[in-house]
């Protein structure tokens, strides 16, 4: 809109131009408000949650082979999350309701499954078994204490009982 006005040499050019500036100013203010809101929102988010956003769970890499889904970077994902491949495997098979196993470091699922669905389940796994419920950091370990498995955070010391898979 503004660019067009600049080529328009009609009488009310100045008038329109001023309007244009006001329009630009408003836009600028809107942007500032948005930035400010974002800044404020960030300050209100507990620090741990921001850390969690910075930590990225690797996305699955793989392909479909016949009626099977092969995930080639499965052990990269489990080692990034510092969990046993067998532990995550058990969770995924249950959640995706499909048979499967780990063969030479690759996850082999006995059904055609979309990467999006697997990524979503891995995220849910991480929320349950990796990220600290208090500070949100991924620096946690699962320890067996008697009959219970606990997730303990090496950053803030929080301990929580986790579900058995």
| By the rule CB under 5 A, 132 interacts with Zn ion | yes
Residue 17 or 150 having the CB closest to Zn ion? 150
CA distances from 144 to 51, 141, 148, 163 (A): 26, 10, 6, 12
CB 107 to Zn ion: min, Å: 28
CB 113 to Zn ion: min, Å: 32
**Alpha-carbon distance 165 to 11, whole Å?**
76
Radius of gyration (C-alpha) of the chain in whole angstroms: 25
Residue 68 or 159 having the CB closest to Zn ion? 159
CB 126 to Zn ion: min, Å: 14
| By the rule CB under 5 A, 142 interacts with Zn ion | no
| By the rule CB under 5 A, 155 interacts with Zn ion | yes
Pairing label, strands 100-103, 140-145: unpaired
**Alpha-carbon distance 111 to 135, whole Å?**
37
Question: Angle between the 85-96 and 115-129 helix axes, to the nearest 10 degrees?
Answer: 120
Residue 72 or 158 having the CB closest to Zn ion? 158
**Alpha-carbon distance 39 to 113, whole Å?**
39
Which range, of 39-47, 76-84, 87-95, 125-133, touches Zn ion by CB under 5 A? 125-133
In the list 95, 158, 159, 162, the residue contacting Zn ion (rule: CB under 5 A) is 158
| By the rule CB under 5 A, 156 interacts with Zn ion | yes
| By the rule CB under 5 A, 135 interacts with Zn ion | yes
Number of residues that bind Zn ion (CB under 5 A): 7
| By the rule CB under 5 A, 153 interacts with Zn ion | yes
> What residue ranges in the chain does DSSP mark as E strands?
62-65, 68-71, 100-103, 106-109, 140-145, 148-153, 159-162
Q: Which residues bind Zn ion (CB under 5 A)?
A: 132, 134-135, 153, 155-156, 158
């Amino acid at each position: 809109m503004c660019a067009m006005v600049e080529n328009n040499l009609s009488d009310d050019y100045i008038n329109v131009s001023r309007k244009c500036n006001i329009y630009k100013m408003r836009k600028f203010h809107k942007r500032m408000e948005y930035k400010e809101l974002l800044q404020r929102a960030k300050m209100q988010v507990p620090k741990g949650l921001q850390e969690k956003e910075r930590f990225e769970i690797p996305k699955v890499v793989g392909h479909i082979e016949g009626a099977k889904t092969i995930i080639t970077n499965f052990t990269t994902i489990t080692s990034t999350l510092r969990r046993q491949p067998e532990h995550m495997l058990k969770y995924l098979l249950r959640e995706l309701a499909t048979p499967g196993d780990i063969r030479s470091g690759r996850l082999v699922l006995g059904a055609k499954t979309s990467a999006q669905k697997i990524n979503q389940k891995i995220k849910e796994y991480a929320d349950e078994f990796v990220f600290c419920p208090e500070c949100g950091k991924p620096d946690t370990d699962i320890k067996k204490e008697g009959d219970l498995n606990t997730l303990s955070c090496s950053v803030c010391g929080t301990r929580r009982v986790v579900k058995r898979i």
